[in-house]
Chains A and B, each alone.
Chain A
Amino acid sequence: MSRAIAILFQTLLAAGLAPLVGGFIRWVKARLNGRRGAPPWQPYYDIQKLLGKEAVVSRTASWIFRATPFVVFSTSLVVASFVPLVAAPAGRFIAGDLFAAVYLLLLGTFFLALAGLDTGSPFGGMGASREMTVVALTEPTVALSIVALALNAGSTSFSQIVSRTLAEPAAALGPGHLLAFAALFIVTLAETGRLPVDNPATHLELTMIHEAMVLEYSGPYLALVEWGASLKLFVFLALAVNLFMPWGIAVSLAPIPLAIGLVTFVVKIGVLATAIAVLETRVAKLRLFRVPELLSASFVLALLAVLSTFLAR
């Protein structure tokens, strides 16, 4: 019973906190640029505003266009319900492991690409084609990074990986772990449409990747897509902090460890989000044809992570 409540609490926490992460990154970036910027909680107002608006749908769009926002949001939400956020108690916390998380998120991306093509707008097709190129290049890296982690822990289960890292802090600083983290961080930037792969702040429709796919969405549909995208970013950041730096995470569902887990989780996410904001201020967007080079580099990092795991044995 307490597990069911924990899962519900965790899902609500993710859905509630996710927009704040994107808003926080935007706010830090504005501050770094010397601007005042919108407050970090601006995305909540945006979602509220969009939910109250009318949705305009292209006449040529099929059911896929209408279904996609729900698919995107629900897959992100399901993943958010079982990845370790505040707690990772021993044993199977819930059905679903690292592979399930990554490929459920990909399902959402797949539907977004279909929806982009569905409206018949040139930008949707352009965005979908670019997104599929990026995803095809990130996928091997994701798989290999998972393998690198799983080899260490002997399992792809989250709680196994977390408890293994907690038990052996030295392994967390080992080359396998660090390389896999670097690879997954680059993939996170690419998958969530951040610089230097995609520019989330641009208004230039011809340079967009993620934004071009969702350009035709409006009203409540757009709210769901945006919320789903922020959940995806949130999940990726949560995976990055908890799988590679799990200290502070609650290993039982007792109140005090949970409280500590919540505080450390928020701090860790905040630090990583700030790191992304600093990075996005420092870099420019890569020329589209250079993106494969960056993603190949992340693949090499993941490959080295797997190799070093074998060598370290």
Chain B
Amino acid sequence: MTAVDSIVRTLNERFADATRIVTPRANEVHCELSPVGINRLADLVCRDLGAELIAIAGDDRRREARVFFVHYVFADRAANWFVHASVRLNGGQPELPTMAPSHYAASRFERELRDLFGIDVLGHPDPRPLVKHAFWPEDYYPLRKDANAPSFADDGRPFPFTPVGGEGVYEIPVGPVHAGVIEPGHFRFSVMGETIIDMKSRLYFTHKGTEKLFEGRDPMACVELAERVSGDTSVGHALAFCQAIEAAAQAEAPLRARLLRVVLLELERLYNHMADFGAIANDTGFAIAHAHCFRIRERLLRLNKQLTGSRLLRGTLAPGGLVRDFEVPVDLAAAIDAALADFEEIVAICLANTLVADRLDGTGVLSAELAREYGVVGYVARASGVDIDARRDHPFAAYDQLRFAVPVHTAGDVRARTRVRVEEARESASLVRQACDALAGLKGGPFRIELGRIDPFAAAFGIVEGWRGRIVHWVMADHHGTLHRVKIVDPSFFNWPALSRALTGNIVPDFPLCNKSFNQSYSGNDL
């Protein structure tokens, strides 16, 4: 009996409130539960079966059914199965019991629900807003279907940061406007001399209404939007979106498209990891590595342009496959290998420099225990000993046909995060080579299938291991076949809070280095 079957049986036997239990895809169980039952289910799948909460999505269905829905997605990494549970809430006065005490990630999703949908989360330990800023009117919930943009005015109240007191402790407020050209984020340091006692980040200065923009649009016309969720993760987000739409339409892209998707995703990983390595070295003052890594990044971006016509690999993916077919030049793998060899030389010079090494070693340590509790993903998790990679755990595109290693380090410091990137870059180059070989063996074949009609109000999701980590796109269509709701979970959503913990006990001038080694997206986090 498979895991999915046994979960269905458990739901039938032990959850009297579970209704509409279906398995739309072989490794997915969907069900509807009462608000009380959801915590029991979370305990069952997370504590007893070892799955993790990967997304919570709100859904305003008051027009159709006078209710709000909240959807929970749990994923099991070991056996690759998913549980999707929906909770129906009163449309007039939506209330939801909190899951926060036992699931840290849930606490942040719930604060998001409260700010964007006005859903009351009962018993939530943190009453502070997450997304909402002081200039949003009290009753403005932008993801409700009837939300209208009112006038915005600052209420003048400061955000209630956790106060840290004691003799000699003082606060350093930094941002949201920084001296460098980076995205906006406010960081509140409580320090003693130069030692950081606590750091709290206040993000969400870039709320663009991205999720709302998807609503009411034809899914085929939304790839451009998905590509712009976070500029450096164009392929990652677009692919997650395409896969979610394909799952909703019960379709699978043809092999040729899936192999080309691997090539695109790995090219994106390569240019970001290499640029990141240089940026980390630059934050130690070692500018020469930065200059050269940017040169290599430029080399890769030109390859991207040559391959797809877009330096950021945009405009290529489509639900069902690709927008258009393209040939992979025979020398692509060789060009990538040459860029990698170039990169390896820079890496060797940097890591052999004792001054650089001294800055990286032991800086910003995130322990494996904390990494697990915060549910961090991507290279941050892998540098802290958490063996997680959606390409292997939930195979998508053509990753089940390719061989690759998942580098894991246990030190959890800046050096480990840097080394994970370097080793992943090597794996990416190897994956590109394998995919190119497989494509050469394929000799043509279809690059897209036409998608059929999407079932209205049936949830589906796509999971992709972007260069920062696991990306989840959750989609639901309405009766017209247009999108009713899209929920995007960028890896940064999970990783941002862990940064504060990694900083504790470090010194203020090392913050930029730690921050760069995490390199989270502000835009992808604040949709």
Contact = CB atoms under 8 A, between A and B. Distances in A.
A215 B180 CA distance: 13
Contacts of A60: none
A144 B509 CA distance: 30
B43 interface: no
Given A33-B288, A207-B509, A287 B359 contact: yes
B285 A283 contact: yes
Interface string B269-291: 00000000000010111111011
Contacts of B174: 122, 205-206
B291 A206 contact: no
B356 A284 contact: yes
A258 B197 CA distance: 59
B228 interface: no
A29 B287 contact: yes
A204 B290 CA distance: 15
A206 B508 contact: yes
A34 B358 contact: no
Interface in B355-405: 355-356, 358-359
A33 B287 contact: yes
Interface in B282-311: 283-288, 290-292, 295
A287 B287 contact: no
Contacts of B356: 284
A131 to B, nearest CB: 13
Contacts of B358: 286-287, 290
B173 A285 contact: no
Interface in A258-287: 281-287
B interface bracket (residues with beta carbon within 8 Å of A) = 20 to 34
Interface stretch (A64-72, A193-201, A228-236): A193-201
Nearest to B175: A205
Nearest to B363: A287
B285 A122 contact: no
Interface string A109-125: 00000000000001000
Contacts, number: 79
Interface in A10-57: 29, 32-35
Interface in A197-245: 199, 201-207, 215
A284 B509 contact: no
Contacts of B292: 33-34
B285 A287 contact: no
Given A203-B179, A206-B511, A287-B358, A34 B286 contact: no
Nearest to B355: A284
A34 B359 contact: no
Contact of B285 (A203, A205, A285): A285
A63 interface: no
Contact of A196 (B181, B355, B507): B355
Given A126-B172, A204-B283, A288-B194, A283 B355 contact: yes
A287 B173 CA distance: 22
A160 B300 CA distance: 61
A86 B65 CA distance: 89
Contact of A204 (B173, B180, B507): B180
30 contacts: A33-B287, A33-B290, A33-B291, A33-B292, A122-B173, A195-B285, A203-B178, A203-B179, A204-B180, A204-B283, A205-B178, A205-B179, A206-B508, A206-B509, A207-B512, A215-B179, A282-B353, A283-B285, A284-B285, A284-B356, A284-B359, A285-B355, A285-B359, A286-B355, A286-B359, A287-B509, A288-B509, A288-B510, A289-B194, A290-B358
Interface of A: 29, 32-35, 122, 126, 195-196, 199, 201-207, 215, 281-290
